[in-house]
Amino acid sequence: MRKKEPRAARIAEALDLPLDIICDIPRTEIMGNTSINVENFRGILDYNESCVKINTTVGIIKIEGDELFIESITDEGAFIKGKIIRVEFI
């Protein structure tokens, strides 16, 4: 790693720990085009059947699709289902 990288990132690498846990960055897992799980988020900014916007520490994750719905929200993450057409980090 270069010296300009954040201290937390260097520590995570040295201890062989996941960067998302140490630096509180979002972790996304997309299953085909039917569901997405977003962990380490700060809140839901917008929600309707064609768009879900999720606030994170590194920006907004915009999920576009058809018949989208939030199946569950927990302290760990949000699980969104429907026909996913696009995922954008803005």
- Per-residue pLDDT for 5 more than 60? no
- Which of 62, 56, 67 minimizes the C-alpha distance to 34? 67
Give the pLDDT of residue 12.
Answer: 64
- Tens digits of residue pLDDT in 34-88: 999 999 899 999 999 999 999 998 899 999 999 999 999 998 899 999 999 999 9
- Tens digits of residue pLDDT in 6-23: 676 676 677 666 566 656
- Which of 81, 42, 75 minimizes the C-alpha distance to 63? 81
| Phi, psi dihedrals of residue 39, rounded to the nearest 5° | -105, 160
pTM beyond 0.85, yes or no: no
